[in-house]
Structure 1
């Protein structure tokens, strides 16, 4: 059997994490963000990133010295960002409470997930705004009418965040690097293979449908997502239906949280031992591609996921 496990080499431009201090814009800015107007009086100097994806965007822009805290790490930090990450206080293993966030005296909060602004986390964005703290939310996670993920949208978000910090040139450099890598990863022709994006679970598998990062990667590489017809971005599948659809490849998300069917090893072991899935073409031929789970949520890791899947195919 052939088993493709391609984990690492998730390197960003290492120089970005050690760049010189960014030049500050001359005046305050007002930014439209997920239906709210965020007033940013000055380039943030005490930003809090509510989870790893937001953290790695800020670190990739060389903003470790402007961060008062990070939280919710799901994977080992990208090697090129590890030294910068070590300088940022970790506020909580998962989401910090509102009180913990406020203790840092933040002047900006950034999250790529709506759940970060729940009452038992940082609290609603409106409440933070009343305290004079602009709370930015990814366009792909807006409370209402979130954008469908696209690489163009991701690059626009990176540039907007960079602009908030007065780091426009760093944003342009990071986006140029990401675009070049994306173009290189998609320059080779691939067979129009069918693929299952297997995220988590064994008794009930959670898979990727339309509208998310996996759908965009599939489009970039000319792949057919076997759950493209689902009504949700991350639907619950079932093994009998998956067996009927019989994907040629299975992209396996490697999650470090330790639950049922989270690690790539547990998923692949299950697929090989389960009578319903053991006869899938992908399983019989060992056509697995392993990607970090965090690379399937909007982040600077998305281009790396394209590179990993494209290289395997």
Structure 2
């Protein structure tokens, strides 16, 4: 998995030259987080311990990672995107009409995370990130550093680090339920000035999941392994404490790797054989033109591996492709539950 990386607008920032911003960012130390607002106040939301103001919506947004980009579009702020980095798959069709990277609307960085200088050149007043790596010294800087130069931020809370500036290997004990996703979309909607749109989105997602669960009463739950096999041949599994496990369970399956922590954790072939999954799911990744069909080479390799011939998922031809974007915390998760449920229990749909 790639690990790449809010700001209340400050009146001085708009007039400050880029060189001043760069010097300020490189010179500032890790300042303590803003204090939480008084109880009952409605002027901010708390995000990974950072108070994110809600009074004035941001005007220029940089979004990192697929889930961050689509959340901005889903909440009606796509016209404010000045930059975006890392699509795992094509955008949902309803957003593609607004995405014009060939015209720099927004500027798009498909493979390498843009430098701090490049992002600041875009003059954002807010950064939305789907993963934690953006907010490190090697990325854009810590959220406290960005705040010092007037750039606010929001981070999907399933990737809250133990401390501001820490990377992907230092995650807090975070909630990986769909409730966490709903809360992120609700809070981000408030920050972006779209609370009604956020509430409607969350309501639709909850209804989708409820409809699926209503069709799955009493089903036998197959053991599901969600994994990938990069070009070097090693197996990487989506383990526990990740929204992928939540999606598996909501879709009527059980996590075959219920004692393996983390996302895309290395396992050996013998471990996959030992777990005997009934179903294997392969998320296709990564690129703006990468769809489920691009997982076929991985699926073919799994089927052709003689060591896996007796794994039930291989024997019964139950190896399926999905997209990486749908099993990452964000607006696609309810649809992911419905999609996977149809694969696991086609007789119920």
Q: TM-score of the superposition, structure 1-length normalised? A: 0.84
**SS of residue in 2 equivalent to 1:129:** helix
- Supply the distance in 2 between the matched residues of 1:140 and 1:209 (Cα, whole angstroms): 14
Which residue in the other structure is 1:72 paired with? 86
Contact 2:53/2:191, CA 8 A, preserved across alignment: no
**SS of residue in 2 equivalent to 1:159:** helix
Structure 2 vs 1, CA of residues 146 and 65 (structure 1 numbering), >3 Å: closer, same or farther?
farther
Which residue in the other structure is 1:138 paired with? 156
Which residue in the other structure is 1:3 paired with? none
Structure 2 vs 1, CA of residues 234 and 273 (structure 1 numbering), >3 Å: closer, same or farther?
same
- Supply the distance in 1 between the matched residues of 2:73 and 2:135 (Cα, whole angstroms): 21
**SS of residue in 2 equivalent to 1:211:** coil
Which residue in the other structure is 2:314 paired with? 283
**SS of residue in 2 equivalent to 1:85:** coil
For residues 24-60 of structure 1, the C-alpha deviation after alignment (integer angstroms, 9 at most, x for no partner) is xxx9933322122334562111111112211101101
Q: What pairs with 1:1-313 in structure 2 (closer than 5 Å)?
A: 29-39=43-53, 42-86=56-100, 88-93=105-110, 94-144=112-162, 145-189=172-216, 190-201=219-230, 203-256=233-286, 263-313=294-344
5+ residue gaps in structure 2? 1-40, 163-171, 345-349
Contact 2:54/2:190, CA 8 A, preserved across alignment: no
- Supply the distance in 2 between the matched residues of 1:256 and 1:47 (Cα, whole angstroms): 23
**SS of residue in 2 equivalent to 1:84:** coil
Structure 2 vs 1, CA of residues 267 and 32 (structure 1 numbering), >3 Å: closer, same or farther?
same
Deviation of 1:205 after TM superposition, in Å, equals 0.5
- Supply the distance in 1 between the matched residues of 2:248 and 2:260 (Cα, whole angstroms): 15
Task: Name which of structure 1's ranges 183-192 and 159-168 shifts more when overlaid on structure 2.
Answer: 183-192
Contact 1:159/1:168, CA 8 A, preserved across alignment: yes
- Supply the distance in 1 between the matched residues of 2:106 and 2:336 (Cα, whole angstroms): 28
- Supply the distance in 1 between the matched residues of 2:108 and 2:43 (Cα, whole angstroms): 28
Contact 2:242/2:262, CA 8 A, preserved across alignment: no
Deviation of 1:146 after TM superposition, in Å, equals 4.8
Structure 2 vs 1, CA of residues 221 and 74 (structure 1 numbering), >3 Å: closer, same or farther?
closer
Structure 2 vs 1, CA of residues 39 and 132 (structure 1 numbering), >3 Å: closer, same or farther?
farther
Contact 2:73/2:95, CA 8 A, preserved across alignment: yes
Task: Name which of structure 1's ranges 186-195 and 36-45 shifts more when overlaid on structure 2.
Answer: 36-45
- Supply the distance in 1 between the matched residues of 2:145 and 2:125 (Cα, whole angstroms): 14
5+ residue gaps in structure 1? 1-26
- Supply the distance in 2 between the matched residues of 1:55 and 1:161 (Cα, whole angstroms): 12
Contact 2:60/2:125, CA 8 A, preserved across alignment: yes
Q: TM-score of the superposition, structure 2-length normalised? A: 0.76
- Supply the distance in 2 between the matched residues of 1:28 and 1:49 (Cα, whole angstroms): 25
**SS of residue in 1 equivalent to 2:175:** coil
Note the aligned Cα RMSD (angstroms).
2.3
